[in-house]
Amino acid sequence: MNGFVLTPVEYVGRWSINRVRSLGKAGYLTTGALRALRNVEIWGPRLLTQMVSVGVASVPIAVFIAVFTGIVLALQASYTLTGAVPMYLVGSMVGKSMITELGPVLTGLALAGRVGASTAAEVGTMRVTEQIDALETLAYDPLAYLVVPRVLAGVLMFPVVIVLASAVGVLTGWAASLTLLDMSSAEFVRGLRLFFVPFDVQFAVIKSLSFGLIVTSVGCFYGFHAKGGAGGVGVAATRAVVVSSVLILVLDAFWAVVLL
Amino acid sequence: MKGRKELLVGSVVLLAILTAVFGTFWLQGRRFGSTETEVHVLMRDVGQLSVGNTVTFRGVSIGRVGDITVEDSGVAVRIQLLLDGDWILDDDAVVVLAPASMFGDWQAEIVTRSRFPQYDYSEVPPDVELVEGVRVLGGYVLPDLSRLTAVADEVAQNVASLTDRFDQAFGQETADQITRAITNMEEFTATLRRLADEQSVQFLGIADDVQSATSEIASVLATARGSLERIDALLASGDLDSILVNTKIITAELSGVSGDISAASQSLSGTLTLADSTFLSLNRITTRLENGEGSLGRLISDTLLASRVERLVEELNLLMEDLRANPQKYVRLSIF
Amino acid sequence: MSILLKDVHRAFGQNHVLRGLDLEVLDGETLSIIGFSGAGKSVILKHMVGLLRPDSGDVIVDGRNVSELDVGELNELRRDIGYVFQFAALFDSMNIAENVAMGLRRMPDMYDDEIMARVSECLALVDLEGTEDRYPSELSGGMVKRAGLARAIATKPKYLLYDEPTTGLDPVTVTVIDRLIVRMKEELGVTGVVITHDIASAYRISDRIVMLHEGRIRTSGTVDVIKESRDPLLRSFLEGRPELAERAS
């Protein structure tokens, strides 16, 4: 290498090496975290706290988003349907899209911002202030202490938050149909039930589980490998949000292909 | 502090689980705390019925489709219907599967066999595996829209082949025959005029025969009119199969008429009215032909034929004018 | 029992930090490691506690080769080692009592009341009584350092590793910390390894001082020996005169 200028070939080479290296790190982290699952005595007590901060604390923002999504969906559906199609299909559209798609994905994205960033920032701060090293010297496996409870909380609580958000979205869609669209409750419910299959709920829960896994894992990954000081933490948080948002959309498409 | 956290997480998780479970049940239209009646249906296929579709009875939703499985034998499908509450169904109860709306959702309706006797319900084979206390019904799948389309296609094809066959039958030959009939009419009118001219020259000599000739011509014209009326009726009824046969008879009759006319050379008392009505019949036919009514419409496209018909009408007009202008030429005969 | 590093090499990418380091810490002594910034002093400490593993060479602590230990054995060893981090690395989500108790909670057969008693004891040892319920962010720099020390000694370790314990503190607090380090040795019989840039402090607390330069021990000796040393590099460091170091190289 002469000087600072990289030839394109070198650039590609370095890029590839870095990608493979991150994959390796991710794999290492994953296997480590799986191994750390044994240390229940370390992550067990932490799980509850994480369930609160990942799950319970996320309910308000998720519900907030769902309220408006539900209303917009109802109005949008009625706008689209105006004409030859019966209005009760507004119920179908609100229910179907809220339960299977918008509930999980919008909530997932919001939580990718909230949970992904805070996870990366927390873990990243602990990394750059040597708290992770301190954990190790105190005979704690940092993966068991930091990563496992967060990821588990994500996997457990994302479905919880998303189920609540979807329900709220459907309810506000219903309310909007009654108040803004002059539909009757019976009409809305008829449309709601028309195409509902229990699999919709399973589908949403499966998606939510994977979103929870992805958001918390990605947050932990970037936090764990944060470098430098506050700047490094910021970079980690930003990357965590971007990458987990992208992965949520990719996963969404993946599940649609695999399960539908 | 910790206890509060546990309470918080616990209540949120429980709320979500309850929402998911009860929401699912509610959206499925399941009711709580009431008994359920299970009924099975055995059919050859189920159309587009799917699990969760509603079960209706006299138009009221009373349950839902619980499960759909193919029997081990592979020749039948077993549908499990879950009815809310206790139900004792009629002995001849059967199930009709049909689309519930135009949007692809189906329903299973419980009806009695006597209500739609025309349907070919599946029979429950006697060796079918029975579950304790569960009725097994026969059923019928209403063809869905795509199947109806297929049937309509078939019908249309049949019609098309029929039309083809008719086209072949109502071919050149028929047209020729009708043309010939009309030519005969021309000859007939020509003869009529020639007769009239001759009459005016030699009417004195034939006074004796007037009475008999008149009646003879009248009867001939009556025959002719009958023939024309038959063509008219045929065209109106559209009974095209018999046209072929009848046209032959009519043309034969018409050619006979012209012969008779020339033979019955004498006076024409009362001919005016008869000729008039014959002419009317003829006129009606030509109108119909011109309008393309019936399947004879294709004749219209034959310009040669059309011009002949026109000429015929003209000549008939001439004849009528002549009759009116010089009634004495014809009528005098009858006066004597 | 002691700490022994034999021909330790460790590189971070292109940066070859330790280049065949040999170092022995004798039982019961307090050893100070001095050296220019970036010389790899912290790296040495991290090797001793198994946070880093050598590329080659052996790190033997308490007769156990650190790089060959499995997780369980390493955790057992770590109970015998207290690590005082440069910025204390207290867990900022926990109060001081919980921080100090962290190591204790990993001890088998320790009940809550025992743990709390030990926590108070440790906090008393570093003169931080009554701060149990405070959070790290509410404490001054010196208090945080002492709390970090309290956490490190909670499990009654045989070895204490101090990573720049006095950096960034006012002279009075530096003296307080120095006295604590001496007290640890005298009252608890702890073997100590101290990384420091503070020469005065090193003179006060150390039995021996070694200087790390270019990945190896450049000079080692008792405080008196170091004070008398004629090595220009060491002198430049001790006297804060860069020109001596330039002459030496």
Using one digit for the tens of pLDDT, what is the confidence trace for B233-275?
Answer: 655 555 555 555 555 555 555 555 545 544 444 444 344 445 5
- List chains touching C (3+ CB pairs under 8 A): A
Q: C110 to chain A nearest CA, in Å?
A: 14
Q: How many domains does chain A have?
A: 1
Task: Mark whether C and B touch (3+ CB pairs within 8 Å).
Answer: no
Beta pairing class for C81-84 and C159-163 = parallel
Going by C-alpha positions, the residue among B280, B310, B318 that lies closest to residue B192 is B318
- Minimum-distance CB partner of B27 among A156, A196, A205: A196
CA distance A35 to A46: 17
Contact at CB, A159 and B16, closer than 8 angstroms: yes
CA distance C249 to C239: 17
pLDDT digits (tens, 9 = 90+) for C166-186: 888 888 888 888 888 888 888
pLDDT at residue B295 in the model: 42
CA distance C76 to C63: 13
pLDDT at residue A119 in the model: 93
pLDDT at residue B88 in the model: 83
A3 lies in some domain = no
Contact at CB, A137 and C83, closer than 8 angstroms: yes
**Confidence band for A68, pLDDT divided at 50, 70 and 90:** very high
Contact at CB, B19 and A55, closer than 8 angstroms: no
Encoding tokens for residue C210?
Answer: 């070694």
In a 3-state reduction of DSSP, which class is residue C189?
coil
Q: Which residues of chain A are within 8 Å of residue B15 when distances are taken between CB atoms?
A: 164
**B199, B204, B209, B213: CA torsion to nearest 10:** 20
Whole-number percent of chain B with pLDDT over 90: 2
A96 lies in some domain = yes
Q: Which residues of A touch C (CB under 8 A)?
A: 125-126, 129-131, 133-141
Q: Which residues of chain A are within 8 Å of residue B30 when distances are taken between CB atoms?
A: none
Task: Mark whether A and C touch (3+ CB pairs within 8 Å).
Answer: yes
Q: Which residues of B touch A (CB under 8 A)?
A: 2, 5-6, 8-9, 12-13, 15-17, 19-20, 23-24, 27-29, 50-52, 101, 103, 105
Average pLDDT of chain B, as a whole number: 66
A150 lies in some domain = yes
- Minimum-distance CB partner of B105 among A49, A167, A194: A194
Q: Which residues of chain B are within 8 Å of residue A198 when distances are taken between CB atoms?
A: 24, 28, 52
Q: A125 to chain C nearest CA, in Å?
A: 10
Average pLDDT of chain A, as a whole number: 89
Q: Is the ipTM of this complex over 0.90?
A: no
Residue C8: which region, alpha, beta or left (left: phi > 0; alpha: psi -120 to 50)?
beta
Tell me the angle at which helices C141-153 and C96-105 cross, rounded to the nearest 10 degrees. Answer: 20
Contact at CB, B19 and A49, closer than 8 angstroms: no
Nearest residue on chain A to B12, judged by CA atoms?
A56
Its CATH class, for the domain covering C3-80+161-248, is: alpha beta
pLDDT digits (tens, 9 = 90+) for A125-176: 999 988 999 998 888 888 999 999 999 999 999 999 999 999 999 999 999 9
CA distance B266 to B213: 5
Contact at CB, C90 and A131, closer than 8 angstroms: yes
Please, what's the b/e burial string for C116-128 (b: 16 or more CB within 10 A of its CB; e: otherwise)? eebbbebbebbeb
Write the DSSP symbol of residue C56: E
pLDDT at residue B176 in the model: 63
Does the pLDDT of residue B213 top 70, yes or no? no
pLDDT at residue B233 in the model: 60
**Confidence band for B141, pLDDT divided at 50, 70 and 90:** confident
Return all residues near A32 (Cβ < 8 A) that are at least 6 apart.
Answer: A143, A147
Going by C-alpha positions, the residue among B264, B269, B244 that lies closest to residue B333 is B269
Nearest residue on chain C to A131, judged by CA atoms?
C89
CA distance A26 to A218: 9
Strand residues in chain C grouped as ranges (E)? 3-12, 15-25, 30-35, 56-61, 64-65, 81-84, 159-163, 191-195, 208-213, 216-222
Please, what's the b/e burial string for B58-83 (b: 16 or more CB within 10 A of its CB; e: otherwise)? eeeebbbbbebeeeeeeebbbbbbbb
Whole-number percent of chain A with pLDDT over 70: 97
CA distance B187 to A23: 105
A131 lies in some domain = yes
Does the pLDDT of residue A1 top 50, yes or no? no
**Section B79-91 average pLDDT:** 84
pLDDT digits (tens, 9 = 90+) for A91-136: 888 999 999 999 999 999 999 999 999 999 999 999 998 899 999 8
- One-letter amino acid for residue A81 of the chain: L
Q: Which residues of chain B are within 8 Å of residue A194 when distances are taken between CB atoms?
A: 101, 103, 105
**Section C209-222 average pLDDT:** 87
CA distance B177 to B167: 15
The residue extents of the domains of chain B are: 29-142, 163-335
**Confidence band for B333, pLDDT divided at 50, 70 and 90:** very low
A1 lies in some domain = no
pLDDT at residue B332 in the model: 41
Strand residues in C92-197 grouped as ranges (E)? 159-163, 191-195
Contact at CB, B105 and A195, closer than 8 angstroms: yes
- Region(s) of chain C under CATH 3.40.50.300: 3-80+161-248
- Minimum-distance CB partner of C51 among A129, A137, A141: A137
Average pLDDT of chain C, as a whole number: 86
